Amino acid sequence: MTSLTTFYLSGLIGNEAFGMDGDAIGVIKDLLIKSLPTEQDDSSRQLVNGIKLKTGKEIRCYSFSTFRVVKAREKLNVTCTGLLGLSVNEINNGLFLVENVLDKQIVDLNGRKLVRVNDVRLVTVSQGTFAIAVDIGIEGLLRRIGISRPIKQFLSLFKISIPAKFILWEDVQAIDYSNLNIKLSKSYAKLQTLHPSDLADILEDMGKKSSMSVFSALDEEKAADVLEELETHAQIHIVESLPVTKVADVFEKMPADEVADILDELEDEKAEILLNEMDNESSQEVRELLEYSDNSVGSLMTTDFLSFKPEITVDEIIKELREKRPEPDELYNMFVTESNDELIGTFNLRDLVLAQPGVTVNQIMKTEPVFLFDDQKLDDIAEIISKYNLLAVPVVDSSNQLHGMVVVDDVVEDLINKRRTRKR
């Protein structure tokens, strides 16, 4: 059979389904799809496997495999060859299209934002009925209210058409799983592909409950990246709502300076609890940063940086970098220190790439490097960074010992925040 019937969820809900003998067996209340796509499934569509029927006063779920949707003269006919029950497991692992998707917010993975679902587009082919797209356009809205057709006819007089706006199912990530007890991490799998900044923006737009459940579903690395990108009040909301152990785990994956910034905003007691929960090495770094006053270079610097002994060769450094796989920021500028951590020179990736493998680093480094003191005022940084065209500046204490570096990203962020406060 090559028949292909496309229809909208709104056109189906509220219709009666008919049995073999042509008698009505119930009113269609909802459709169920699997919430976790399995490996074999085509990601561009999701099989409808259940239907919720209201017969008399009773509402029950049945398997959709015996149901069939046919369009005859613009009208949808739903027929059923026999009622098969659904297991509790299937219901619990499913997603109801009306209850969890329609009128709710979903993440549009392609547009990387939250959108509201006006309708769901479905298709029936020989293999079954599938959800293929969600409608987020004005046309869907008018269709739901029941005035789509007259308005379209009216507008066609002026040759205006209402643009339809669909999101294909592979770009749809539902977020409202409130009544399901399934493994959330898997249901939010599609979100892991988004950039942390985009994910952070989306989380900020969500309600509190959804943002918490999505955040808890992220793996620690991703969670750390996202937490870093969130705005302060969203950060605090998440840190205060999640279990302490989970927050501590995420904090351990974050740069110490970002953690210190968040802890600064929390109440002292809560901050102390979190610090105690973190492993010693990470919490020690954060504690040191917390000592610096808000307006000093120390409060902005990161303690994640790379430093090497002067007599090490270029070859050895590159080998070490390959093993360590440092973050991009750490490669902006690398440092050479004596055994007492005294800063004696800096070098960057370019110096490293251009040098012969056997050369020692003290031959390629810039001596008398530009640096900042940890207790210096924040205002000085931007000037130095722009004057010397630097991506990262080393930070030393009064005895010239290296403690960290200030990265250009953080400086820019600080400047933007300052401008905002000034505007206020």
- Looking up tokens 């579903």 gives 217
Cα atoms found within 13 Å of the Cα of residue 115, Cβ hemisphere only? 22
Among 57, 159, 350, 424, binds another protein (CB under 8 A): 424
Q: How far is the CB of 138 from another protein (least distance, A)?
A: 8
Measured from the CB atom, the residue of 183 and 209 that comes closer to another protein is: 209
Among 209, 366, 377, 418, binds another protein (CB under 8 A): 209
Strands (E), 191-338: 307-308, 334-337
β-sheet bridge partners, residue 373 = 396
Classify residue 399 by its DSSP letter.
T
Binding range to another protein, per CB under 8 A, among 84-92, 141-149, 300-308, 393-401: 141-149
Binding mask 227-266 for another protein (x = CB under 8 A): ------xx-xx--x--------------------------
Euclidean distance between CA atoms 404 and 38, whole angstroms: 46
Residue 276 one-letter amino acid? N
- Cβ partners under 8 Å of residue 63, min gap 6: 49, 50, 51, 84, 85, 86, 90
Binding range to another protein, per CB under 8 A, among 218-226, 314-322, 379-387, 416-424: 416-424
Query: By CB under 8 A, is residue 118 in contact with another protein?
Result: yes
Asked whether the beta carbons of 126 and 1 are under 8 A apart, the reply is yes
Nearest to 312 by CA among 365, 368, 367, 354: 365
Query: By CB under 8 A, is residue 105 in contact with another protein?
Result: yes
Binding range to another protein, per CB under 8 A, among 138-146, 282-290, 311-319, 357-365: 138-146
The total of other beta-carbon atoms located within 10 Å of residue 192's CB is 13
Euclidean distance between CA atoms 174 and 187, whole angstroms: 8
Enumerate residues 164-183 that contact another protein by CB under 8 A: 178
Residue 46 one-letter amino acid? Q
Among 136, 254, 274, 343, binds another protein (CB under 8 A): 136
Asked whether the beta carbons of 68 and 151 are under 8 A apart, the reply is no
Residue 420 one-letter amino acid? R
Q: How far is the CB of 264 from another protein (least distance, A)?
A: 12
Measured from the CB atom, the residue of 121 and 403 that comes closer to another protein is: 121
Among 112, 144, 246, 253, binds another protein (CB under 8 A): 144
Among 206, 223, 230, 365, binds another protein (CB under 8 A): 206
Largest CA distance in the chain: 93
The answer to whether the Cα torsion of 261, 266, 268, 273 is positive or negative is: negative
Query: By CB under 8 A, is residue 420 in contact with another protein?
Result: yes
Query: By CB under 8 A, is residue 379 in contact with another protein?
Result: no
Query: By CB under 8 A, is residue 124 in contact with another protein?
Result: no
Binding mask 65-104 for another protein (x = CB under 8 A): --------------------------------------xx
Euclidean distance between CA atoms 107 and 176, whole angstroms: 10
Among 82, 207, 243, 357, binds another protein (CB under 8 A): 207
Binding range to another protein, per CB under 8 A, among 11-19, 42-50, 111-119, 277-285: 111-119
Structure tokens at 160: 């205006």
Q: How far is the CB of 210 from another protein (least distance, A)?
A: 9
Could you tell me the end-to-end alpha-carbon distance of the chain, in angstroms, rounded to an integer? 67
Residues touching another protein: how many (CB under 8 A)? 27
Paired sense of beta strands 75-80 and 67-72, if any: antiparallel
Binding range to another protein, per CB under 8 A, among 109-117, 304-312, 351-359, 396-404: 109-117
Q: Which residues bind another protein (CB under 8 A)?
A: 103-105, 113, 115-118, 136, 138, 141, 144-145, 178, 206-209, 211, 233-234, 236-237, 240, 420, 423-424
